[in-house]
Amino acid sequence: MFFNVSGLIQDGIGATRIFEVDGWLSKEDGQSEQLVGKAHMLRTKDGVLVQAHLELVEPEVCSRCLEPLIETVKIEFEEEFLTTTDTKTGAFLHDMDPDSFTIDEHHTLDLTEAVRQYREVSNEMQPLCRPDCRGLCPTCGKDLNQGDCDCDDGSIDVRWAGLAALKGAMPEGKEQ
């Protein structure tokens, strides 16, 4: 997602542009995700302030039943991209923070890394196919959204077996 901001930089501080974003974001696994939205850009003293309002269509897997699903992730951020060259002389600026987002010497602003970072923060930690997803049976693995399984519900988790033994050892009427 490259944007030529040379005109914006030459217009001076306070100049604005709105860019439509409609493209694909490549992932590390070689797949791509569709990205749409708008990027508002404002010329600042040191570069360009980008206010992005984007939506990313991402294939996911339900964290309970493992069914595939399509998730729309809203990505919104505001970051300043700093110019790497002096706009008047063309000289490279050497006193820049290496972790800052930058505009290259050809006045090209690349949103890819900022979008990637904010996508990671915006992702659901445990995506669900629906809010009432029942998940998989821990014993047989059947999808409980398709109906109950035939597993024995009377089994006791080994972590609670000691307490179950105590309960069975108590006299009648003394259970709390």
Query: Residue 2 belongs to what H/E stretch?
Result: strand 2-4
Q: Are residues 49 and 95 in the same domain?
A: yes
Number of domains in the chain: 2
Q: Are residues 105 and 155 in the same domain?
A: no
Q: Are residues 40 and 118 in the same domain?
A: yes
Q: Are residues 106 and 145 in the same domain?
A: no
Give the strand pairing for 16-26 and 102-103.
unpaired
Q: Are residues 77 and 104 in the same domain?
A: yes
Residue 117 half-sphere exposure toward CB, CA atoms < 13 A: 10
Of 1-10, 18-27, 151-160, where does mean pLDDT reach its minimum? 151-160
Q: Are residues 151 and 109 in the same domain?
A: no
pLDDT digits (tens, 9 = 90+) for 134-147: 999 988 889 999 99
pLDDT digits (tens, 9 = 90+) for 24-77: 888 777 788 899 999 999 999 989 999 999 999 888 999 999 999 999 999 999
Which of 104-120 are b and which e, b meaning 16 or more Cβ less than 10 Å from the residue's Cβ?
eeebebebeebbeebbe
Q: The pTM is what?
A: 0.72
Q: Are residues 142 and 80 in the same domain?
A: no
Q: What is the pLDDT of residue 112?
A: 92
Q: Are residues 115 and 54 in the same domain?
A: yes
Containing structural domain, residue 147 = 136-171
User: Do residues 40 and 15 make contact, with C-beta atoms less than 8 angstroms apart?
Assistant: no
Q: Are residues 14 and 85 in the same domain?
A: yes
* In-domain check, residue 151: yes
* In-domain check, residue 127: no
pLDDT digits (tens, 9 = 90+) for 91-129: 776 667 778 899 988 889 999 999 999 998 988 889 999
Q: What is the pLDDT of residue 64?
A: 94
